[in-house]
A and B are shown apart, each in its own frame.
Chain A
Amino acid sequence: MSAPDSKQSYLDPDAIARGENLGILARTVVEGYRVGEHRSPYRGFAIEFAQHREYTVGDDPRHLDWKVLGRTDRYYIKQYEQDTNLVMHLLVDGSESMTYGSGRVTKLHYAKALAACLAYLVLLQRDAVSVSLFDTTTREHVVRTDSLGKIHHIMDRLAAFEASEKTDLGVAMEDIARVARARGLVVVMSDLFDDEAGFIKGLRQLRFSGHEVIVFHILDQAEIEFVFDGQVRFIGLEGSPTVELCPADIRKTYLAEIDAMKLRMRQACDTTGSHYVLANTSQPLAEVLSGYLVFRHKVSAR
């Protein structure tokens, strides 16, 4: 993935190409108003027959299955399955901790690129997308749109965003749960260096609201492997203290702490029925995205 020099750099051609082939499929049913590729939670009276059920008072008599009534003298209503569209809510962590990058790519840039690619793919298949950039609160919000032409607007907003504050991931997730009326797909892109309890609470609220949640846990390679030598002074971000130490002295302990945190996040996602994807910024975006989409395609096809 190239370094961020313009908004266009957020769209990774390789990632887009792979994503285009696979498509973005909602793993669970989503509700919508347009015919699309996604199964609707509503059983109605459309083209695809779904099932019969007994007539109850209030049902539209137009939906009675007359053939069954003629043969059995029983009142059954014919139900049909209706395709509907997907609404993807992209939540990008815009806190200061996301500005760290041991290489040329920061976690924030990686998250913005991931968000842009996903937005483009969703819009490309005529689904809707909304984007929120947050730290302690929602700092930028692109309202739901299903127009592919809006992708430039989305990228402009992503590019213009500068991180500076602390994170409160739980508040941002609660905001989405409250605002999004239609159930959809919520994609959280964050390093999750936040209050874990708040994150898990937000995760539960989203799930309670019927949203499917995918958590892209974005970490830098240095944060995962902690390969430093000599004496190092770590200047803390988001108001954390500055620490001077010999990394070799604590490396094992640090790696255990990081692994434990990743495990907790994964377990929280598993518990709430959410997807957890660990994204190492040193990996190409296309690899991370296509890997996840392949996995998702298989799951949705069942």
Chain B
Amino acid sequence: MTFLNPAMLFGILAVALPIAIHLLSRPRVREFRWAATRFLLASMKKNSRRLQVEDLLLLIVRCLIVALLVLLFARPAWLISSLGLGPRTVPSTTVILLDNSASMGQTDSIRSRFDLGKERATETLSKLLPGSTAALYLVSNHTRALVAKPTADISLLHRQLDLATLSDAGTDLYTGIRVAADVLKASGRGECKIIIFTDSQIPAWGNLSKILQLQEDNKDKFSIQASVLGNSGEDNLAVSALDMVGKVAAVNQPIHCSITVTNWGRKTATKITVKLAADDGNPQDQTTIEQIEPGASRVVSLTVRFRQPGYHSITATIPPDRLLSDNQRSTVLQVIQQIRALVVDGESDRDGLFLKEALAPVAPSKRPDYYLKVSSARPSELDAADLGKNDIIFLSNVAKLSVRSSENLNRYVNAGGALVVFPGPATDLGFYNTDPNFSPLLPAALNPPVDAPANKKYETWQSAPYDHPIASLWNNPDFGSLNTVRFTRFFPLTPRPAVGTNPSPAHVVIKYANGDPAAVEQAVGKGHVIVFGSTGTTAWGTLPIHPAFIPLLARVVAFATSKSDETLNLNPGDSFAYEVASDDEGRDFSIQRPDEKNPRPIGKVEFGEHSGMIRYGDTDNAGVYRVFIGDDATPKVLFAVQGDPAESNLQQEPKAEIDTLLNPAPVIVHDEATTPKADKAASSSSAPGAEFWLPLAIALFALVVLDTAMAHLFSQAK
């Protein structure tokens, strides 16, 4: 036997209290002269032994009551030996990790895996021994504490478990297990274990080796146990991607969206209707996919239009199945009224011809209605031009700029303008690389032009996959390929590091087949600059006449002019941050979540240096969120949370891989903090087990009752 609170044993000295009271108490004594003393003496003689026994019994009982009370506070527990002696059940410290990733929403038509996990967790909590403690966490690709520190308040754990909700996030159990391990190292007592309730998706065990290593490193401290929910490879169809093809969303212009539908099941799916709706309205477009083979994806292109500029949402849906969260996917975009593009022709009008035509690829009669208004200028006109009227400026084969023009252009970019540079034969490398106003704008230094290798006669752009958003459209072979764009001559580019006024690193948009950068982009100030390594004319390559040129320019325009697309479409758990006018600073804002009909108050717009800021972090659920400021009826901004496509794959990790987690050996951790020093030598093979406060409490109660009865009985006249 040991004590979980041995310091309380000093309280055993309190046993002396009843004895001291017995010895020292002097009750008030009244005096009487008395004649019949001999009868008193006779009575006392007859009763003295009995009275002594009664007093002694009462004293013993009261001492026992004090001693038992002290023992109760000292929390005695059975000592469990490593030899298996003693009781088999021990109080434990358990950290329950409940997977709340999107895949846990898969139902068996009655209840979801998440509901099943909650039931299992509830059962586990109910089976905990008295004195055991538990903590509770929700895990996906991030960890959320419901009960952060182990507590013996089982009702609190049950309540928190009832309130737990599913998210649409991806899964990575390692982060949660690491948090649980830290909790057990800090607060673990008795047998320590981490119990994971998960559907055991393959992505969840992406860091399985780290998990197993963590278990091995701490095998004497805690065990990790997995409880697998659901079955492997259940049927599931998912909208795994929703992208705007053109990437420029303008009023009254058709917005082409590519929608990827994936069949994650084991059977061929047929007749899948895909619908595309704008702003939660009726579908504007739909199509039917005849069939998708197991494991295969199909991409369909649907179109929507918006009649008003501003923030809008697009939602693609497929018929519901047992995992609802991936049967629709939403994205938010900013629809603009028009974009003004300025093409600066370097040496002649022909330098910008292809660009001007490609930027407004409609008949001249329709150009007034086209969203992209193109104008042209000569480099010398930049001196006095109001560049701020343009959303994007293209420089094509511009040799150099005057100091005033370069200063003007520098201010324009830093103020938020977009600049796209196509060098050419006339390009003055000295100016491009050294001009104090112009060179800092460029995301890459231009090296002297080189010809394509003689054996190939031309250099091509790389093949898929493309990492950068501008080129990612061509990851889908249905849109063709960029590797057929050829160049006979080009400027090798050296991306600039993130220094000085350019805190953002330069990103390679696309590479040549040899791996050298062919186009590089970088955020500069509040604007964006993209530089290509070759011409925007047919002088050195085929890009202007390639089919991809028009969509590529559209994506370039959209990428360079859009300042918020990335911040408007988040992953579950990401924080939303949005700048608003300083007039709104301090005003209340509210958010209408995807699963709610009315906005709920969130807080106040934060005060910023130049503008107000809205921040919101509770983005576990996929869908469209609408942000309202004050009592405004129309949302100030929308943003969308998109679930992890990997969550749609319900394939489970093979059980053999996680065998040690499914059948863990029990681990007993000795509580150093509560081990008396004298016992530490022997403690390596033993640990405190089940507390037995209940029998002591019953004994204490019985003694109190006995004491009361005895006191009453003994106080009767005799």
Contacts and interface: CB of A to CB of B under 8 A. Distances in A.
Contact of A230 (B30, B38, B43, B46): B30
A155 B31 CA distance: 33
A193 interface: yes
B43 A223 contact: no
Contact of A254 (B32, B33, B43, B716): B43
14 contacts: A100-B33, A193-B35, A228-B30, A231-B28, A234-B31, A234-B33, A235-B32, A235-B33, A237-B34, A244-B29, A250-B43, A252-B718, A257-B39, A258-B36
Contacts of B32: 228, 232-235
A215 B716 CA distance: 35
A240 B718 contact: no
A97 B37 CA distance: 10
Given A241-B37, A258-B39, A231 B718 contact: no
Contacts of A236: 34, 37
A54 interface: no
Interface string A238-280: 1011011100111111100110010000000000000000000
A230 B46 CA distance: 20
Contacts of B715: 248
A234 B30 CA distance: 8
A253 B47 contact: yes
A249 B31 CA distance: 17
Interface of B: 27-44, 46-47, 51, 715-718
A248 B715 CA distance: 7
A97 B33 CA distance: 9
A99 B32 CA distance: 12
A133 to B, nearest CB: 17
Interface string A204-246: 0000000000000000100100001011111111101101110
A235 B30 CA distance: 11
Given A237-B37, A238-B35, A258-B36, A250 B29 contact: no
Dominant secondary structure of chain A at its interface with chain B: mixed
Contacts of A235: 31-34
Interface in A184-213: 191, 193
B27 to A, nearest CB: 5
A261 B36 CA distance: 11
A299 to B, nearest CB: 31
Interface of A: 96-100, 107, 191, 193, 220, 223, 228, 230-238, 240-241, 243-245, 248-254, 257-258, 261
Nearest to A247: B717
A251 B44 CA distance: 10
Contacts of B34: 100, 234-237, 240, 243
Contacts, number: 97
Nearest to B31: A233
Contacts of B717: 248, 251-252
A257 B42 CA distance: 8
Contacts of A257: 39, 42-43
A100 B717 CA distance: 24
A236 B37 CA distance: 6
Contacts of B39: 254, 257-258, 261
B30 A250 contact: no
Contacts of A220: 35
Contacts of A237: 33-35, 37
A100 B35 contact: yes
B47 to A, nearest CB: 5
Contacts of B44: 243, 245, 250
A93 to B, nearest CB: 11
A253 B37 contact: no
Contacts of B35: 96-100, 107, 191, 193, 220, 223, 237-238
Nearest to B41: A243
Contacts of A245: 40, 44
A231 B38 CA distance: 18
Contacts of B40: 234, 243, 245, 250, 254
Contact of B36 (A223, A241, A244, A250): A223
Contacts of B716: 248
A241 B43 contact: no
A220 B36 CA distance: 10
A100 B35 CA distance: 6
Contacts of B42: 253, 257
Contacts of B36: 97, 193, 223, 258
Contacts of A99: 33, 35
A249 B29 CA distance: 15
A98 B33 CA distance: 11
A232 B37 CA distance: 13
Contact of A240 (B28, B37, B51): B37
Nearest to B42: A257
A261 B42 CA distance: 12
A17 B46 CA distance: 47
A249 B716 CA distance: 7
A250 B38 contact: no
A251 B714 CA distance: 12
A232 to B, nearest CB: 5
Given A231-B27, A232-B31, A254-B43, 5 more contacts: A193-B35, A231-B28, A237-B33, A237-B34, A250-B43
